[in-house]
A and B are shown apart, each in its own frame.
Chain A
Amino acid sequence: MAIRVVLAEDSLIVREGLHQLLAASPSLNVVATYGDVESLLDRVERDRPDVILTDIRMPPSNTDEGIRLADHLRESRPSTGVVVLSQYAEPPYVLALLEHGSDRRGYLLKERIHDRGQLISAIDTVARGGSVIDPKIVEVLVDAKSGTDHSPLTGLTPREREVLAEIAQGKSNAAIAESLVLTKRAVEKHVNSIFTKLGLAGSRQVSKRVKATLMFLADSSPSSMSAHEPM
């Protein structure tokens, strides 16, 4: 059954472009498009979307309406996924999006839009309860984290660092195995090793570990080896 998608994007050009891009896919059904959050919320009961694809920056404040929409829907429609399209590669936005849980949430940079395949794959993952984090953001975080001699990432092997990046993007073990050309067993071993070395306690569940990993990477306080909250 096709995934019901609703688009929210205030720029007419981009909105139409997206619509065209997605409409061609048989696995998606774009049921409505909106130019602002309010009109989307007005009709959301009627639209019953599985995934909402929204720009982060919408009127009236043009700051982070998209994230606030996601938060709101976490309460009112927990089964609806949200993929936020953003021009900001800054980690705090991603962490804000995942604050109330990382399942059914995705954060992609707008430049990803042209790649139909990636976009559809992200919508698909989110619809099935997973998380998708743009690799560019993970790259920024990993680079910053591994910059120093005392970086906690120095304990990881290069392979483990690759796996860490994949984890942060929200991929499941199977997806990581496919992406890095490894066996699932090998991936699992690496994942356990990583979590142990970094002292990340808590759930190894895919949707939950995204947040834990991202928070770990984004942490710039002096005690970076401290364990984060499991959620």
Chain B
Amino acid sequence: MGSHPIPTATDPPRIRFPALLALTATGALLAGVAAVVALLGHMPHDVSLAERQAVTIATPIAVGLYAWREGTHARFGRLLVLAGGAWFLAALSSSSNELVYSIGRVSGWTVEVGLIYLILAFPSGRLTTRLDRRLFAAALAVVATLFVPTAFMTDAYPAPSQFATCVSDCPENAFMLLSSEPAWVDGVIVPLRELLASLVLLAVVVRLADRIRGATRLMRRTLAPVLLFAILRTISIAVSLGLRRAGVDDSVLAVSTAVTELCLPAMCIGFLVGLLRWRMYTADCLVALAHGLRRRSGPGERRDLIAATLTDPTVELASWRPEGGWVDAEGKPMSLPPASAERLATVIFDDDEPVAAVVHDAALSEQRSFIEAVGAYAFVWDDNRRLAARVESSLTELRESRARILAAADEERRRIERDLHDGGQQRLVALRIRLELAEEMMRQDPARAGSMLHRLGDDVDAALDELRSLAAGVYPSLLAARGLPDAIRTAALQSPLPTIVEVDGADRYPSEIETAAYFCCVEALQNVAKHAPGANTVEIALSRNGDLRFEVRDDGPGFSVDDAPGAGLVNMRDRIAAVGGELEIRSSPGAGTAVVGTIPVGR
């Protein structure tokens, strides 16, 4: 698995540290500038206004950068940072300069639209349902038709507002195009738009509440703080608008607009709390999952665990084969279902390669990143377990192989002892006896004794012969003196079958490698003589191409490699494995046999 368990193939990347630093500095700068603008504007309560502006700009940028850095909801974070920038423009409303003020007031209208988008798109940063998109479209429509055009038709913007505390002595509208304001602007448009705006806000809140009602436990926890602050803000806005219309005291208005403005950073805190709760809940789930995984063993139980963690009993798991294609928990091929209203498949990536997939209820679509985290965690665990099992079985195989090699060595020693006894000792004993007899014969019939002694010479020659071939069988000096090619050629000479030896580039190697290759070839050669009646020729090929390779081919009857290997073949495999190589036996009935060994020789 990759270096981090939570994959990022589906999300935009998290912000890098230098950019983070730059944006933080920019945010602080913007907050500072807004405060200064407010102080220079000389509006009523300018100090508290300046403080409010600074907070209103700093908060969304700070929370947005946090989300962007944390990564899971980076997209939402980016939008929030952008919103902070837009709210800076709106904060220009506290300026006494006509143009700046006007820019600020118009920008202030986008605040609502932006905030509605943020609320609807929390926490993923995308509008996923048609209803959400329609609500947002409605808000856009209201602003586009009833707010923006009036920028060119009105003398003065409605006061006071969130970002401008002036009541009666506000700067004039710099974008006024008409000579005078038509009466229906203030009489019809403004009340209409205030009403519609409130309705849209209310609809958003209702939508959010509905979303919570049908959401999973995780999403309920995440969305609840946002809903709370959204409700507070909507009430605050409605009250402010109402009070403004009712024409109450300036001081009362000042308080209500201040509270409304502070609801903006409060909403950002709401987002932050929601994100933090998401993280905590996810972490708790993953911890519980870890405990569960440690206890369980089979793939069925793993699926159950994931289903419980995601609270979706219909969860199915799929693994990606390296050679391509999905398989289910039993290893049978399957295909991921296309995205539908009922089911979705969330794919878990590792460095852009698919690794696994979780097929789940479409209702969980809001928490894709959580599903990815859970899936990645479970599969990492699985991976580890598989690796551990493989190591275990390799160790077992190693132990068994070593035991076999030792047993084979003991067997060899016994054989040598036997051969020395039968061939060497017995012959010498017989010789001794005949010498004794010859000595006796010496006294009786020296001529006969002479020929007896002569025959004893032949006996000694035979014993020498036998001892010599015994020694060569134990270890051929030729191998150490001249290397594999010569040693194998000589072994080929002694085979009863015509044997051809081809050598291509093989020369000298460490003695354990030469020994292993030599004895394997010799054994293979002997096998042909013993078990392949009807074989006409044997070919031995030695080559070096990175690895040392030997191949002993015969044109005999062949055998089925699926049959259990005889002790000799197992022995050969062990020998080659002990020097880090591999032995392959290719044969099929009627097609001859090839024993192929490959030993890595480095450099």
Contacts and interface: CB of A to CB of B under 8 A. Distances in A.
A96 B482 contact: yes
A196 interface: no
A89 interface: yes
A221 B500 contact: yes
Interface string B526-548: 00000000000101000000000
A91 interface: yes
Contacts of B476: 90
Contact of B481 (A64, A144, A147, A220): A64
B501 A221 contact: yes
Contacts of B480: 63
Contacts of B497: 147
12 contacts: A63-B480, A88-B477, A90-B478, A91-B490, A92-B487, A92-B490, A114-B457, A151-B498, A218-B489, A218-B493, A221-B501, A222-B502
Interface string A204-225: 0000000000000010111000
Given A111-B461, A220-B501, A221-B502, A141 B493 contact: yes
B478 A220 contact: no
Greatest chain A CB density within 10 A among B476, B481, B503, B537 is at B481
Interface string A11-52: 000000000000000000000000000000000000000000
Interface in B453-492: 457, 461, 464-465, 468, 471-472, 476-478, 480-482, 486-487, 489-490, 492
Given A93-B481, A220-B500, A222-B539, 13 more contacts: A87-B471, A90-B478, A91-B490, A92-B489, A92-B490, A111-B464, A111-B465, A114-B457, A148-B537, A150-B498, A220-B493, A220-B501, A221-B502
A221 B471 CA distance: 27
Greatest chain B CB density within 10 A among A64, A87, A92, A147 is at A92
A171 interface: no
Contacts of A190: none
B482 A64 contact: yes
A110 B461 CA distance: 10
A220 B477 contact: no
B53 interface: no
Interface string B497-529: 111111100000000000000000000000000
A138 to B, nearest CB: 12
Interface in A98-138: 110-111, 114
Greatest chain A CB density within 10 A among B457, B482, B537 is at B482
Interface of A is mostly: loop
B490 A147 contact: no
Contacts of A148: 498, 537
Contact of A91 (B464, B493, B500): B493
A118 to B, nearest CB: 13
Interface size class for chain B? Answer: 20 to 34
Contacts of B471: 87
B87 to A, nearest CB: 88
A108 B478 CA distance: 16
Contacts of B481: 63-64, 93
A2 interface: no
Contact of B486 (A92, A150, A151): A92
Interface of B is mostly: helix
A180 interface: no
A220 B502 CA distance: 8
A111 B467 CA distance: 12
A229 B502 CA distance: 18
Nearest to A95: B486
B496 to A, nearest CB: 8
Contacts of B461: 111
Nearest to B493: A144
Nearest to B498: A148
B484 to A, nearest CB: 11
Given A63-B480, A89-B468, A140 B500 contact: no
Interface string A138-161: 001100100110110000000000
B423 to A, nearest CB: 15
A187 to B, nearest CB: 27
A220 B499 CA distance: 7
Nearest to A112: B461
Given A64-B482, A147-B498, A57 B489 contact: no
A116 B45 CA distance: 132
A114 B457 CA distance: 9
Nearest to A91: B490
Contacts of B502: 221-222
Contacts of B500: 220-222
Contacts of A151: 498
Contacts of A92: 478, 482, 486-487, 489-490
A114 to B, nearest CB: 7
Contacts of A63: 477, 480-481
Contact of B490 (A57, A90, A110): A90
Contacts of B487: 92
Contacts of A221: 500-503
A93 B481 CA distance: 9
Nearest to B476: A90
